């Protein structure tokens, strides 16, 4: 029965990445340095932005973005109930209030009417999530923050210059996606990417943030603020201190430590070269799945349309008509057939941490419905065509089996 063993999301690392990491290690510079700076410049080019900052995770990128915007105690930030904890936990980290919005009916995307209603004079940012690599409806979100401009009360210079709620996207899944012809990164005000080992593009651990130019704000100033926050508030990084006689530095604030190392960046520099091909392969696999599942009683994410191109990160499927227990039985059976699957996501109000913060899944009935019969199929660039055929065949068989 089990003729193959298919893992869910193994990293796609070639000899080329290994060689570049070895070269970084031999170079004498292993922490943040020339390779990190080079990767930042390539990411900014890729995203059509002026600058990029590489950090140790998307979580750090999201959190530091809230800090750059001066968001903290007394403020509110809105995100989706249907996401990974990092989209919301960072709001708590900075001392602001987490506001979770349910998904729209039969959708994995935030209910935009509910989003609009959740906005008040304390709201400082919205963190939309490009689930599975599919961009949110950014035009709609922009129209909402524009319509709520009068309520907005800025509390730092950048917020003042923006004059409205900031859109600080969690694009952990969406590096390489595009919305209405523009790369994700050039769409929201600030956009955070994850390069964690299971993501499309990896540096083992890692992340980056990019932002759109803000009228009246110097990009170098924003860049410098991220540098300070990510390196102890220290006025000079290790590379700057190597200049002759330049030992002295100042500590500008008692801040954080979440920089990217050149060893991580070495992996990223090679992934960058390979990434267009990797995105293409993901698209091929998605087309194969879509074609094979036509006419079945399922709901999937729409990865590609005239308006958007996904990064093809996750293949979410709803097994329509099934409940939580049957879905779990489906996952077990798939595992018995050698296919690892997953669930994205158990809505945040169902987790202990969010229950303890007072959230209740009863207030997110749509998110619960999306979750109860959701299963995510393997989608990665280590899959052969034969693997994909095997997954399809077993998917159909096990679904029939569980439904019966
Ligand atoms: C992976 C992930 C993150 C966190 O990324 P890290 O780089 O591990 O911090 C945030 N949001 C979503 C939706 C994710 O899937």
Determine how β-strand 182-183 pairs with β-strand 178-179.
Answer: antiparallel
Asked whether the bond before 356 is cis by omega within 30 degrees of 0, the reply is no
- pLDDT reported for residue 75: 98
Tens digit of pLDDT for each residue in 212-237? 999 999 999 999 999 999 999 999 88
Please indicate whether residue 87, judged by its CB atom, sits closer than 6 Å to ligand 1. yes
> What value does the mean pLDDT take over residues 93-122?
98
Question: Are residues 199 and 172 in contact, defined by beta-carbon separation less than 8 angstroms?
Answer: yes
Q: Confirm if 226 and 53 have CB atoms less than 8 A apart.
A: yes
pLDDT at 402 over 90: yes
**Positive or negative: CA dihedral 182, 187, 192, 198:** negative
pLDDT tens-digit map of 277-332: 999 999 999 999 999 999 999 999 999 999 999 999 999 999 999 999 999 999 99
Average pLDDT on 108-122 reads 98
Give the contacts of 262 (CB within 8 A, at least 6 positions apart).
24, 27, 29, 30, 31, 32, 33, 34, 35, 36
Atom number in ligand 1 closest to CA 61: 9
pTM of this prediction?
0.97
Cβ atoms of 149 and 166 closer than 8 Å: no
Dihedrals phi, psi of 302, to nearest 5 degrees: -95, 105
* Separation of CA 180 and ligand 1 centre (Å): 24
CB 6 within 8 A of CB 387: yes
For residues 361 and 345, is the Cβ–Cβ distance under 8 A? no
DSSP one-letter code for 87: H
- Mean pLDDT over 262-275 rounds to 98
For ligand 1, say whether the CB of 202 is within 6 Å of any of its atoms: no
- DSSP per residue over 128-139, as a string? -B-GGG----HH
Helix (H), strand (E) at residue 119: none
Count of Cβ atoms closer than 10 Å to residue 216 Cβ = 10
The reply to whether ligand 1 has any atom less than 6 angstroms from the CB of 83 is yes
What is the pLDDT, as a whole number, of residue 236?
A: 84
Q: Is 133 in the pocket of ligand 1 (CB under 6 A)?
A: no
Ligand 1 atom at minimum distance from 60 CA? 9
% of the chain surpassing 90 pLDDT = 95
What is the Cα 324 distance to its own chain's centre?
Answer: 26
The answer to whether the CB of 206 falls within 8 A of the CB of 195 is yes
CA distance 14 to 266: 12
Q: Does residue 196 line the site of ligand 1, with CB under 6 A? A: yes
How deeply is 363 buried, as exposed, middle or buried, from its count of CB atoms within 10 A (0-12, 13-18, 19+)? middle
List the beta strands (DSSP E) in 56-165. 76-80, 97-101, 123-127
Q: How confident is the model at residue 240 (pLDDT cuts 50, 70, 90)?
A: confident
Name the average pLDDT for the chain: 97
Condensed to tens digits (0 to 9), the pLDDT of residues 350-387 reads 999 999 999 999 999 999 999 999 999 999 999 999 99
**Residue in the structure block whose two tokens are 């007072």:** 358
CATH code of the domain made up of 276-403: 3.90.1150.10
pLDDT of 347:
98
Domain parsing of the chain, residue ranges: 15-267, 276-403
Mutation to probe ligand 1, out of 11, 61, 170 (largest number of atoms < 8 A from CB): 170
Residue carrying structure tokens 């943040």? 32
pLDDT of residue 238: 76
Task: Band the pLDDT of 244: cuts 50, 70, 90.
Answer: confident
For the chain, what's the residue count?
404
Copy the structure tokens of residue 345. Answer: 């996501």
H helices, E strands: number in the chain: 14, 13
Give yes or no: 199 in active site: yes
Which pLDDT belongs to residue 1?
Answer: 56
Q: What is the CATH number of domain 15-267?
A: 3.40.640.10
- By most ligand atoms within 8 Å of CB, the mutation choice from 8, 54, 86 for ligand 1 is 86
Among residues of the chain, what percentage have pLDDT more than 70? 100
Side by side, the strands of the sheet bearing 308-309 are 182-183, 178-179, 308-309
Nearest CA to ligand 1 atom 10: 86
């Amino acid at each position: 029965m089990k003729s193959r063993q298919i893992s869910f999301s193994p990293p796609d690392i070639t000899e080329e990445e290994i060689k570049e990491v070895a070269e970084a290690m031999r170079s004498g510079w292993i922490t943040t340095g020339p390779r990190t700076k080079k990767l930042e410049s390539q990411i900014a080019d890729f995203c059509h932005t002026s600058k990029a900052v590489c950090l140790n995770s998307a979580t750090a990128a999201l959190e530091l973005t809230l800090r750059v915007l001066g968001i903290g105690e007394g403020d509110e930030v809105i995100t989706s109930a249907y996401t990974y904890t990092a989209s919301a936990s960072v709001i708590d980290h900075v001392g602001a209030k987490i506001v979770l919005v349910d998904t729209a009916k039969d959708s994995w995307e935030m209910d935009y009417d509910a989003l609009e209603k959740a906005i008040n004079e304390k709201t400082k940012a919205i963190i939309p999530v490009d689930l599975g690599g599919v961009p949110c409806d950014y035009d709609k979100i922009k129209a909402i923050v524009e319509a709520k401009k009068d309520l907005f009360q800025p509390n730092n210079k950048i917020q003042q210059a923006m004059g409205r709620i900031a859109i600080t996207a969690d694009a952990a899944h969406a590096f390489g996606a595009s919305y209405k012809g523009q790369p994700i990164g050039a769409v929201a005000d600030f956009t955070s990417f994850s390069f964690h080992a299971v993501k499309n593009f990896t540096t083992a651990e890692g992340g980056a943030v990019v932002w759109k130019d803000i009228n009246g704000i110097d990009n170098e100033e924003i860049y410098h603020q991220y540098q300070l926050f990510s390196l102890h508030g220290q006025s000079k990084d290790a590379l700057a201190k190597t200049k002759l006689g330049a030992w002295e530095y100042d500590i500008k604030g008692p801040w954080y430590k979440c920089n990217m190392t050149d060893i991580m960046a070495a992996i990223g520099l090679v992934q960058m070269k390979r990434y267009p091909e990797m995105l293409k392969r993901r698209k091929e696999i998605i087309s194969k799945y879509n074609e094979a599942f036509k006419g079945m009683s399922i709901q999937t994410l729409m990865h590609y349309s005239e308006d958007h191109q996904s990064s093809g990160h996750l293949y979410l499927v709803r097994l329509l008509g099934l409940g939580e227990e049957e879905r779990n039985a489906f996952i077990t059976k798939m595992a018995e057939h050698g296919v690892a699957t997953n669930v994205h996501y158990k809505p945040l109000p169902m987790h202990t941490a969010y229950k303890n913060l007072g959230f209740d899944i009863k207030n997110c009935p749509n998110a619960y419905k999306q979750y109860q019969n959701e299963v995510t199929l393997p989608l990665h660039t280590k899959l052969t065509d034969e693997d994909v055929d095997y997954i399809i065949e077993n998917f159909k068989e096990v679904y029939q089996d569980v439904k019966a």
